[in-house]
Amino acid sequence: MVEFFVSARDFKKGIRLILVGRKEYMDQDTADFRAVADDLELCSTGTSTHMDAQVIRAGNARVPLPVLSHIKKIAVSFKRDRLRVQIEAGRFKVESYSLSHPDVELKRIGTRLADLPVNASALDGLALQKLFSAEELAESGVAARVLAAQERASSAIESAASSLQEFGVPREAVAELLDAHISLHAKVLKALMAVPDGN
């Protein structure tokens, strides 16, 4: 379990910040609550915020954004200055309000290795898979975005190959062209993100 007390004002503000601009990715993205010492970090793909907290049980929890959105809606009923938050596998609790969801999970405490801007392109998502392992992408909470990018790429390859069929351009040639472009973009991302050479 992760448990902490936090300013109601900071908590509501942090949730609003995480949810901004995520309509397209609401069903894919998650938010991580990392509570250690006297700090609560709330982060999601491309966004992170810190706030002071009285941490009772340190830990890291991952919450689907629809759960966070629901918490935001009921947050107006929280009239206290400080809120007690408890997160355990399958459950998110604020004061006496409890919400069950099978995808609320406890994670090991660590840093997010891979990240993307909130409005990242499919090309950005595809480039990440050149830089990080599947496990690292999953741990960082971006695996769903990468999978969605792969599906878009596959559809685009099929469409292009179909259009170029009369010119004798095989599907493999289209796929190789896209892969080469993804590799070039991955080099740019690697430099921007300062990814270690081991990845």
Residues 69 and 6 in one domain: yes
Kindly report, residue by residue over 56-89, the tens digit of the pLDDT. 999 999 999 999 999 998 887 888 899 999 999 9
CA neighbor of 189 nearest in space, from 125, 145, 137, 135: 125
Residues 21 and 95 in one domain: yes
Give the distance between the most distant pair of CA atoms in the chain.
69
Whether 67 and 157 share a structural domain:
no
pLDDT of the residue at 28: 85
The last residue of one of the domains, among 50, 84, 107, is 107
Residue 198 falls inside a structural domain: no
Element (H, E) at 51: strand 47-57
Q: Tokens standing for 123? A: 């090309």
Q: Which tokens belong to 75?
A: 């947050």
Q: In the listed set 75, 107, 139, which residue is the last one of a domain according to the structure?
A: 107
Residue 38, pLDDT score: 92
Query: Domain range spanning residue 126?
Result: 122-193
Q: pLDDT value at position 110? A: 62
Average pLDDT on 130-142 reads 82
Residue 116 lies in a domain: no
What confidence score (pLDDT) does residue 43 get?
Answer: 92
Q: Is the same domain home to 102 and 18?
A: yes
Residues 162 and 77 in one domain: no
113 lies in a domain?
A: no
Mean pLDDT of 2-27: 92
**Ordered alpha helix ranges (H), the chain:** 8-19, 65-74, 122-131, 134-139, 143-164, 171-193
The last residue of one of the domains, among 107, 130, 155, is 107
Percent of the chain with pLDDT over 70: 94
Same domain, yes or no: 16 and 70: yes
Distance CA 22, CA 19 (A): 6
199 within some domain: no
Same structural domain, 103 and 132: no
What pLDDT score was predicted for residue 23? 84
pLDDT of residue 135: 81
Same domain, 137 and 97: no
What is the number of structural domains in the chain? 2
Per residue in 99-124, pLDDT (tens digit) is 999 999 998 776 556 777 777 888 98
Mean pLDDT of the chain: 88
